[in-house]
Structure 1
Amino acid sequence: MHFLGLSPLYLVSLSLLLQGVLGASPLYHICSTTQNYTSNGTYETNLNKLMASLSHRVPHSGFGHVSVGQEPNRVYGLGLCRGDVSSTDCKTCIANAKTQILQSCPNDKGAIVWYDYCLLKYSNDDFFGKIDTTNKVYMCNTQNVSDPATFNSKVRELLNQVATKAHHGSKMYATGQLVLDGSEKLYGLAQCTRDLSRANCKKCLDDAINDLPTSCDGKRGGRVVGGSCNIRYELYPFVSS
């Protein structure tokens, strides 16, 4: 999948983190800039069929991937909902993502959009089973903690724990928490798209943890969302128990 820029890695501030908390606004999207399809052509027909298929498949289990058509107009796509999200909320998120991605990336042969509850991605390249090393968005809270060095160590400890749990789990999804000083708790999440092997899931998550930018050091929350996996930590519970 060929997306915009040489290295489309984005750092997004607290304002976009809050969008995910408050509602159905997308966190971010990336459009292909290298290949376009013709309106009302075969590729668009296949893309519409793919979107309909994902809208049906994904809410049942929280994940789905499918390809439609024949080369050179074959389309590959997947949808993923956060592991704690209900099938009803998953269906709504995928429907919103479908509308958003087609509006934001008209006639692009590849695109990806992230929401707090879901991810939707399609391409004319067969990306199934491959780690997406290109499409990542970094999001950091703008507020600092009082002891950055100790906090950063706890963040890495927790994210390593949930990454290990996620790549072993049937849904490739895990959450966890650590008690900090006093009664304060640190919450974490890790999740992979289920087309990945367990080894590739672990590698994707390990790379995401290592990719947390220095600008997130000592910040009260942060995440890396990608095309194959995502991680997140916060000082407040952000998933359903």
Structure 2
Amino acid sequence: MDSMINKLKVKVAGGGALRKYASDSIHYDGDEHALYVDVQCTPDLTKEDCLKCLTKGSNEIRSFTRKPLFSGRVISTNCYVRYDHTSIFNPPAKYDTKECG
């Protein structure tokens, strides 16, 4: 997990003014579960400031999450860090359609 988030932070911080976003996923518990990570900085941030912002965000998520409920979001003025068990790009194929009654 640490190597993945570090790789994403470096990729985002080194992105050009129009590309300061990255995402990836890891599988754990024998590939039974997936954890998706999305990170983004605003284009006006320097590489160093982007790294600082993303590091602070990922540290904040770790301070209030625990496995197996490991998910969270930190949104600041200049960056965004998201850990979740659902990908924002590939939502679940089937939703529960029970009627509320």
TM-score, normalised to structure 1, is 0.33
Where does 1:116-135 land on structure 2 (aligned, <5 Å)? none
**Structure 1 residue runs without a partner (length 5+):** 1-153
Greater helix share, 1 or 2? 1
Report the AA paired with residue 58 of structure 2.
Answer: I
Instruction: Give CA deviations for 1:94-119 in whole Å, capped at 9, x if unaligned.
Output: xxxxxxxxxxxxxxxxxxxxxxxxxx
- 1:189·1:231 contact (CA, 8 Å) conserved in 2? yes
Name the CA distance, whole Å, in 1 between partners of 2:3 and 2:85.
15
Name the CA distance, whole Å, in 1 between partners of 2:70 and 2:53.
23
What is the aligned length? Answer: 86
**Structure 2 residue runs without a partner (length 5+):** 91-101
Report the AA paired with residue 172 of structure 1.
Answer: K
1:172 counterpart = 2:25:
no
The higher-RCO structure (CA 8 Å, 6+ apart) is: 2
Where does 1:186-225 land on structure 2 (aligned, <5 Å)? 186-212=35-61, 214-218=63-67, 219-225=69-75
Report the AA paired with residue 160 of structure 1.
Answer: N
**Residues 1:167 and 1:229: Cα distance change in structure 2 (over 3 Å):** same
Report the identity percentage. Answer: 29
Instruction: Give CA deviations for 1:11-36 in whole Å, capped at 9, x if unaligned.
Output: xxxxxxxxxxxxxxxxxxxxxxxxxx
Q: How far did 1:157 drift?
A: 4.0
Indicate which of 222, 228, 233 corresponds to 2:78.
228
TM-score, normalised to structure 2, is 0.72
Q: CA RMSD in A?
A: 1.9
Q: Secondary structure at the match of 2:74?
A: strand
- 1:224·1:230 contact (CA, 8 Å) conserved in 2? yes
Q: How far did 1:190 drift?
A: 0.6
Runs of 4+ in 1 over 4 A off after TM superposition: none
**Residues 1:202 and 1:237: Cα distance change in structure 2 (over 3 Å):** same
Q: Secondary structure at the match of 1:185?
A: strand
